[in-house]
Amino acid sequence: MRITLRLSGSIRLIYKELNEEIVLFVNEPVSIRALLQMAGINPTVVPAVYMDESKKDKDYMVTKEDSRITVLGPLAGG
């Protein structure tokens, strides 16, 4: 199963070494938390993820081929 993580906002500043889009291949359903770990992203610094235009919990199981998940970083600013 092909899954794309799209890094957005401040998460790109935290993980400068990662590409804006990360494509992962898995053989079975997998949680978003596990996908983040596979990509080298600490799930605790990710406050929100979106898939199919709706917010998902990091324990949500991804079961669909060609899923696109947007990963948001912590809010910053003043």
C-alpha distances in angstroms, 53 versus 1, 7, 43, 56, 76? Answer: 20, 15, 20, 9, 23
The pLDDT value recorded for residue 77 is 65
Per-residue pLDDT, 75? 82
| pLDDT tens-digit readout, 21-73 | 999 999 999 999 999 999 999 999 999 999 988 999 999 999 999 999 999 99
- The length of the chain in residues reads 78
What is the per-residue pLDDT for 78? Answer: 61
pLDDT band at 9 (very low <50, low <70, confident <90, very high): confident
d(CA 17, CA 39): 11
